[in-house]
Structure 1
């Protein structure tokens, strides 16, 4: 009953919410362009210049009728425009680059002055109280000179015409003079000038207040002295984006059903309730993301996958603690209270470290990374609220009803009461040398291969252009000949699914080149083309930002874990994190899998997952250190590490499985476009399970064992616990000598 009620509520709220969600280009198709903004006079660009250019682009986008466009200022001199759902890329590009321009001309269309002579326009009124536009003159000397020149012409020609976006091949005073001042006319005003003047100009016409305000706004836009240089662009076929969205959604639904089933099998009633709360968790995350105007893309879905893994992990940690308590002979209420209490520290520290990573990524990342970070932050708070707070309240209610007092095994599956569980025994220290040798061999040879052969860098990390052509029966040889005919240097041509051919060019295609390629293949094959362009500037920024993000995140993790645990724990966790990233990069190099901007999101997901898992193992080591009398020899330390790894191994395995389920579903059901992303996650999850469950503990043992000797008492291991520092030997008081 609970299940069906939640499903119905989930459907009633979620489906309409999903319909109103903003989708990124990778899920909906569309057009994206990044502009470099510069002043036309070579002077330094100001924030006012940038904001004025932003207003122009916004107005141009509005003219396209695109629903929910994204226009963002990036840094001090860039503006990114995303138009999801746009199909006519050529028209969109033309409209965007059409920066408004005001000019002053005579009746023969000769240029008298450009927009540089005015500082702006504002709403005003004529002598009869009708709406008008006042032009504020900036260069009074030049304005006086131009108006004097016009005033000296013969009657009928002594007219100064003010144009908005004058097109020499289309507009002329002879043709448009009669419509000056009217709606939709490029001719704003045609006034007789009887003598030179340098005061502000009043433009009157047959328009109302709103039209006058809009016209003033347009003139202000036209008076800006900036130019736009396109430094990267991307367009995604709408049909392709829709296919990705549908397949991703289906894979996600199947993955969620499998996760809930897995949780129910593992933990019975407690697992089932956790699964139901996982649906509520999903609803809350999507609702908050929608409320803040988030754009759902592949990178934000990556964060959601990580968030689901962390949400499930919080339930697994708590339920495993409850199972341990029941097996030790505690009653269900006692076990429930103890399990929740003891699991809190692990959950808190794991989520805080991941939150630190998310905040840093949001500050330093580019747009897709910011989307990842935003979603990740939402999932962290949702985990703490739904999967920790709400889940405990609901399960606590059922515990208080005493329904399960006589059958606690129906509440959560566990072994015989009073008979402590036999954990999977892992002698991590015994196999330490073997693990290190195998790991080092892989990393050394892998790094050599990586350095020699490099990564298969996608368009995001190299300058050039990527062209995807979709047409019936198109062959690689045909396409190679076509690009040779067009005069472009082809790096590679690959045949892909659905009659698509993927082409890499060394050339950074400009607007004319893009139109040339689009028109050529459309005319010859009736083909659909997608063209992505990245310049060296963008490539360098992406690499720099990704590098800074990871380094600063690692430093922040070291600081936090050093405060909460100890410096040796921090170093071990970061070493494990580096291991996971290198494993994925080496595998991508070996299998020649393309590395693009979404790869960064996958790496960030792996970092978050690895830290989350490692913290849980370290928390158990910290707890076992606290409960031990003292650690005086290496043998004592071995026992602690082996015990901690054995106790948390099952949890690490379960968490990895539940996180891998949706990833595997995406690999099987998803498209080739998101396959590299899903493969990176899969490789990273496997590497992260190994490093966090075994390798991190071994590294910590190596660091701490240097302080101890095999059989002699030396100083005791000092570790920070929740409330105190423990295991410090007490100093013996010296007895006073009698004189």
Structure 2
């Protein structure tokens, strides 16, 4: 009848204890945050008396995960930037010029001399001295076109070639413009994310809005101007000859050598020539591709000067490795298989499609690809964040107090059980947010307050159902069992529909809406757990101990 196996009781109470333990660091937020920063710095090889003192602020045997505080709670900077995606078209056309020039030179007998003409940045204009050979010129340049690999551009090529008199015009096709715009936005997002992450901020919000805008919210940073300066920093990309490889961070070097760590292997270091062969300033483009065996790879292309230097170096160093260094870390160190003239090359390795795409973005992330115009900027002071925290704490406290008074007044001892379960419910929400590194925002606090009401609703359904069963002259044990069983469907239906709404808000929403949906979704799960399992364990344990003949619900 009314019986819960011991292992289930231990499991349920164990989950509650784990949730309380995970939520505990948030009760001492500032000290635990300093402890985490100190431990991270000391693991990186930095030591000082101040760090050692901070490392003693929290016991190392206890969890130290914290839920992150959003911009509205912690203070920080908010920027809305517009990326001038059209700026990329000019560099793309400059990158095509060497290939177009070489293709037309092969047709010199037909087209005569060639000369690049001034024109819009988005167009490459070439004048030929023999207009009667224009048809051959157009055909030669069109042979350079590559198919579009994006889903929306299937069946299209990357360039459109046209002729007007003795001038041949090359420009990006509409499908390629759309693909270029998308790559430009991805590249800008990746660069900004790398720049912000290096500042050590917690849980920045960096997301695309619309076709050409990026929303940047960074909690804990001093001002919007500081954030703008941080984003404007240019990443450093270089290509170096590889002298050797070592695991010794203090290896002896010659005067013109540098020691650079591997990006993927923390214990591996490369000894490189200090002078790079080419730099990221010479890189025009990098795209994910597939090699001759159908395996994921990454292609790259340099401008004219970079192509010349790279071609000479690869021709003289076949069989030797060279390193691609991004922000003083080696991204990859492939071996030169053959001379690479024309400024194009391919990086192969143990990639999957996702990794090759990511690497191509990293290679392009040497500098912001296009100018950004800041349409909106705000600095939110920490005192405003503290005001938000205080307001949210007051609202949550009032809501909790009202619920506690109502439940105890309405259901007596059962109301006390529900109140304890309610406190455990809130602790579970905080613990889960800490465990997954979630961000708590002011709308998130609203989600927790709403969760408190929904958790009470589930308990009310159970307790009212128990009352109904008692009116049918059933015994206390049978009434409790039927109360939980028959209230189950109503509780699941109500919470399931709300959970679906939370998922929709998370998928389609952004910023504060997502913060609300995360806490609401987690709260729904914990509310069902505490209402159906935790309070039931309390009731059963009390019933087994007291064996009452009559229930007062």
TM-score normalized by the length of structure 1: 0.39
Tell me the equivalent position of 1:635: none
1:11–1:200 distance in 2 versus 1, CA, 3 Å: closer
1:268–1:137 distance in 2 versus 1, CA, 3 Å: closer
Tell me the equivalent position of 2:225: 90
Does structure 2 retain, via aligned residues, the 8 Å contact 1:10–1:279? no
2:234 maps to 1:100: yes
Tell me the equivalent position of 1:32: 78
Does structure 2 retain, via aligned residues, the 8 Å contact 1:121–1:220? no
Tell me the equivalent position of 2:23: 14
Match of 1:362 among 506, 511, 516: 506
1:380–1:124 distance in 2 versus 1, CA, 3 Å: farther
Counterparts of 1:86 and 1:137, CA distance in 2: 32
Match of 2:534 among 359, 367, 390: 390
1:317–1:199 distance in 2 versus 1, CA, 3 Å: closer
Shift of 1:243: 2.0
Query: Which secondary structure state, in structure 2, belongs to the residue aligned with residue 41 of structure 1?
Result: helix
Match of 1:41 among 85, 88, 94: 88
Tell me the equivalent position of 1:492: none
Counterparts of 2:185 and 2:240, CA distance in 1: 23
Shift of 1:333: 1.0
Deviations 1:518-571 (A, max 9, x none): xxxxxxxxxxxxxxxxxxxxxxxxxxxxxxxxxxxxxxxxxxxxxxxxxxxxxx
Query: Which secondary structure state, in structure 1, belongs to the residue aligned with residue 474 of structure 2?
Result: coil
Tell me the equivalent position of 2:469: 325
Does structure 2 retain, via aligned residues, the 8 Å contact 1:137–1:200? no
Tell me the equivalent position of 2:443: 299
More strand by share: 2
Counterparts of 1:282 and 1:247, CA distance in 2: 17
Query: Which secondary structure state, in structure 1, belongs to the residue aligned with residue 214 of structure 2?
Result: strand
Counterparts of 1:54 and 1:395, CA distance in 2: 53
Query: Which secondary structure state, in structure 2, belongs to the residue aligned with residue 82 of structure 1?
Result: strand
Counterparts of 1:12 and 1:383, CA distance in 2: 18
Tell me the equivalent position of 1:379: 523
Counterparts of 1:285 and 1:233, CA distance in 2: 32
1:123–1:280 distance in 2 versus 1, CA, 3 Å: farther
Query: Which secondary structure state, in structure 1, belongs to the residue aligned with residue 206 of structure 2?
Result: strand
Does structure 1 retain, via aligned residues, the 8 Å contact 2:67–2:435? no
Tell me the equivalent position of 2:242: 125
Shift of 1:309: 0.8
Shift of 1:99: 5.1
1:75–1:394 distance in 2 versus 1, CA, 3 Å: farther
Counterparts of 1:236 and 1:323, CA distance in 2: 51
Deviations 1:407-432 (A, max 9, x none): 422xx2xxxxxxxxxxxxxxxxxxxx
Counterparts of 1:145 and 1:405, CA distance in 2: 88
Query: Which secondary structure state, in structure 2, belongs to the residue aligned with residue 388 of structure 1?
Result: helix
Query: Which secondary structure state, in structure 2, belongs to the residue aligned with residue 226 of structure 1?
Result: coil
Tell me the equivalent position of 2:484: 340
More helix by share: 1
Does structure 2 retain, via aligned residues, the 8 Å contact 1:101–1:219? no
2:185 maps to 1:50: yes
Does structure 2 retain, via aligned residues, the 8 Å contact 1:260–1:276? no
Range 373-382 or range 67-76, more displaced: 67-76
Query: Which secondary structure state, in structure 2, belongs to the residue aligned with residue 130 of structure 1?
Result: strand
Does structure 2 retain, via aligned residues, the 8 Å contact 1:36–1:231? yes
In the TM superposition, what are the counterparts of 1:655-666 in structure 2 within 5 Å? none
2:548 maps to 1:405: yes
1:76–1:122 distance in 2 versus 1, CA, 3 Å: farther
Does structure 1 retain, via aligned residues, the 8 Å contact 2:83–2:372? yes
Does structure 1 retain, via aligned residues, the 8 Å contact 2:72–2:441? yes
Counterparts of 2:363 and 2:447, CA distance in 1: 44
User: What are the ranges of 5 or more consecutive residues in structure 2 without an aligned counterpart?
Assistant: 1-14, 30-65, 90-176, 245-256, 258-270, 285-300, 310-326, 329-340, 346-359
Tell me the equivalent position of 1:71: 206
Shift of 1:228: 2.2
1:217–1:125 distance in 2 versus 1, CA, 3 Å: farther
Does structure 1 retain, via aligned residues, the 8 Å contact 2:191–2:365? yes
In the TM superposition, what are the counterparts of 1:612-631 in structure 2 within 5 Å? none
Q: CA RMSD in A?
A: 3.8
Match of 1:143 among 305, 323, 326: 305
Does structure 2 retain, via aligned residues, the 8 Å contact 1:37–1:227? yes
TM-score normalized by the length of structure 2: 0.52
In the TM superposition, what are the counterparts of 1:328-727 in structure 2 within 5 Å? 328-401=472-545, 403-409=546-552, 412=553
1:17–1:83 distance in 2 versus 1, CA, 3 Å: same
Shift of 1:126: 5.5
Query: Which secondary structure state, in structure 1, belongs to the residue aligned with residue 184 of structure 2?
Result: helix
Does structure 2 retain, via aligned residues, the 8 Å contact 1:56–1:99? no
Deviations 1:176-206 (A, max 9, x none): xxxxxxx99xxxxxxxxxxxx97699xxxxx
Does structure 1 retain, via aligned residues, the 8 Å contact 2:302–2:343? yes
Shift of 1:13: 5.3
Q: Aligned residues, how many?
A: 326
Does structure 1 retain, via aligned residues, the 8 Å contact 2:505–2:514? yes
Shift of 1:289: 1.9
Query: Which secondary structure state, in structure 1, belongs to the residue aligned with residue 88 of structure 2?
Result: coil
Tell me the equivalent position of 1:431: none
Shift of 1:367: 2.0
Deviations 1:17-71 (A, max 9, x none): 3523211122121112233334213443455433332232123324544344333
Counterparts of 2:84 and 2:17, CA distance in 1: 54
Counterparts of 1:271 and 1:145, CA distance in 2: 76
Shift of 1:87: 2.5
Does structure 1 retain, via aligned residues, the 8 Å contact 2:79–2:224? no
